[in-house]
Structure 1
C-alpha cells in the first residue's frame, strides 16, 4: 500500500491517506486543499509512505485516467488493476547522462529510459536505485536523493494485453563518482544495452515518454 502524508510548515500532519489506484499524489493532495513537494519516500515491509511538505491551496478536481482504445463492457469487467512502484535515477557524469535501452520483452524495444526498476519487498527506494544501476549498467552510485514522484494511469490495450495499469515512479538523482563503460549485468532482463549519452546529443536519442518530464524535474530540459 502507498500512503501519502502531508505536513505543514509547523510540522503538523494535515493530510494522510492511501493513494488510490490510478491517482497522482500531487493531484490527490490538491483535491484535499494542499499543494506541496515530496521530501521523502519511506518503505516498511512492502508498504511505502510518500511524505510531502505542504501549504494550503484551493481544492481542484482530480485528473482522470488516460483511456486507451475503446473497450467493451465485458472487457472492462475482467481487467485486474495493477499498480507498480519503481525507483529511477538521473545520473550525470562528465557532461553525459546514463541511459538504458529497453529489451524486446518490454514492449518498447529499442527506446531509451532512465536506469531503475521495481522496488523489491522490504527494499528502500534508495537501495533499489543502487541495485538497479549495478544490474542494468554496472555503475556504482551514491548520494541518492528523491526529487519527484511521477505517475501514469493507463486503461486499455497494450502489448501486454488488456490492462488497468498505474505506474508510480520515484525519481531520484544520484552521483557516479567513477563512471566506467556501461555493462548490462542482468542479462535477459528488461535492459538490452546501456550508454553514457552526451547531454548535447539527447535530442537525437529516442527515449520513452517519461524521460523528458524527468529531465525537466531536475533542471536538465
Structure 2
C-alpha cells in the first residue's frame, strides 16, 4: 500500500496593471524549477490566511491583504518516494490579494529564489507549475463553488 501524504498550502494572486506577481520555485537539489504563485505550506495550527500573508512576505518582500477567497484547488498525484510510491494530495487555498507596503525582493534560503512581475499574456509561455493555471482560472472565472473543473 502506498504512503499517503496531504499538504495544505495557501497562495496569493496579485494582479496589477495587467501583470501578475510570481515566485520561482526550485527543488532542494536545484535540478527542477518553475514559476508559481507566491505562497506555501501551513505550519501546524496556522490559519490559512495568515500563512498566505507570511509566505507572500517571505517570497516577495511585499505586505499584502486578502481581498477575497478565490477558491480551493485539490490535486492528487502519484509520486516516487524513497520507500515506495506516495499517494500525494495537495490542497491549495487561493486568495486574491492587494499589496499594501514593501518592495520586491527575492527570498534567500527558502523554496523560492526569485520573485518577478510578468505580463498576463506571457504566463502561458513560462515554465510553470500547474497551480498558476488553476489560480488564474479561479481569479478569472470566480466559480460560485470556489472550485474549477478538473481535467
Taking structure 1 as the reference length, the TM-score comes to 0.57
- Distance in 1 (CA, whole Å) between partners of 2:68 and 2:55 is 15
- 1:176 aligned residue: 99
Contact 2:66-2:95 within 8 A present in 1 as well: no
Quick one: structure 1 residues 94 and 106, their matched pair in 2 at CA, closer, same or farther if it must change by over 3 Å?
farther
Contact 1:93-1:176 within 8 A present in 2 as well: no
Contact 1:101-1:109 within 8 A present in 2 as well: no
Which one has more relative contact order, counting CA pairs under 8 Å at least 6 apart?
2
1:82, distance to aligned residue in structure 2 (A): 0.8
**Superposed CA RMSD:** 2.4
Figure out how many residues of one structure are paired with residues of the other and give that number: 141
- 1:82 aligned residue: 5
- Distance in 1 (CA, whole Å) between partners of 2:73 and 2:16 is 24
- Distance in 2 (CA, whole Å) between partners of 1:138 and 1:194 is 9
Listed as ranges, the gaps of 5+ residues in structure 2 are 142-151
Matches within 5 A, 1:34-183: 77=1, 79-105=2-28, 109-157=32-80, 162-178=85-101, 180=103, 182-183=104-105
SS of match in other structure, 1:183: coil
SS of match in other structure, 1:126: helix
Alignment partner of 1:208 is 2:129: yes
Contact 1:103-1:191 within 8 A present in 2 as well: yes
Quick one: structure 1 residues 108 and 207, their matched pair in 2 at CA, closer, same or farther if it must change by over 3 Å?
farther
Structure with the bigger percentage of strand: 2
1:158, distance to aligned residue in structure 2 (A): 6.5
Deviations 1:51-84 (A, max 9, x none): xxxxxxxxxxxxxxxxxxxxxxxxxx3x321111
Taking structure 2 as the reference length, the TM-score comes to 0.81
Listed as ranges, the gaps of 5+ residues in structure 1 are 1-76
